[in-house]
Every structure is written in structure tokens, then in C-alpha cells.
Structure 1
Amino acid sequence: MLIVAAEGGPVVVPVDEVDGIHAIDERELEAASASGTHANARFTRGVLQWKGRSLRWLDEEELLSAVHRSLT
């Protein structure tokens, strides 16, 4: 579980794994495909190669906006 601070209170997001908090340079991102076949592509700012794995960098505003809409 990942707990994200948001306007109106914290939001809990299910995740597969958390390795900690790391400073990552945004220039290392590969642009996320806006026309991706995955429904969650709109919540992704980019993809990052890290420790031999592909990680999605989430678009915090899009994600929290969708959560807020689903709760109202």
C-alpha cells in the first residue's frame, strides 16, 4: 500500500512493491505513450529503467483527480 497526501485527506493506492523514496532526474524518463493500449497510460508521465526493471512514473495530478471523481 502507498499512502499519498491529497487535498481532502490521504489516498491509499495498492502497489506491487515499494523500494523507498529516491531522487530521480526527470530527464531520465522515456515519454509515456498517450495512445497506449493500456487503460492506465493516461496516469503515466513516463517510463524509467531502474535496477533492470521498467517502472512507471505516475502522473500525480491525473491519478488523484480520477480518485476524487470516483469518490464524489
Structure 2
Amino acid sequence: MILPDQSGLLSVSQQQTSVASQRSKYIVRQIAYSFQLIAIAAYYRAAQFGYEDGCEVQDWLKAEAEIDGVQQSGRF
């Protein structure tokens, strides 16, 4: 597909750059969404165990593994 610009047509290189930019934006949005899901899951995990001091990293890693597992299984 050739996309128009002010001078007429975009070159193949410009089109490829545009597609790459769109893909990059999509990936960034997906990462941000996953980060939010992990943060929420870690918060609820911490709440479940009474917000124990020193367990923040463990809560985050467990939540990350849980969210990754759900996303990879296709249940999400």
C-alpha cells in the first residue's frame, strides 16, 4: 500500500519506517499494559499476606510469573 504525503507518495523506506513506528508503539502499549497488570497483581498479593516488609520484590516476581503464565496460555 502506498500512503500519500504532501509531495505525492511515500517512498518504500518511508512506508517501512511508518510500519516499524506503528509496531513499536503497539509493543510499548503492550508492555505498559502488562506492567500495570503486574503492579495490580503484586498489590493484591501483598494485601493478601498483610503487606509484609521486605517481600515487595518477591510479591512482584510472583505476580509477574502469574501474569506471564496467563498471557502465554491464551486465557487472557
TM-score of the alignment, normalized to the shorter chain, above 0.5? no
More helix by share: 2
Structure showing greater radius of gyration is 2
Q: Which has the higher contact order (CA 8 A, sep 6+)?
A: 2
TM-score (norm 2): 0.23
TM-score (norm 1): 0.23
More strand by share: 1
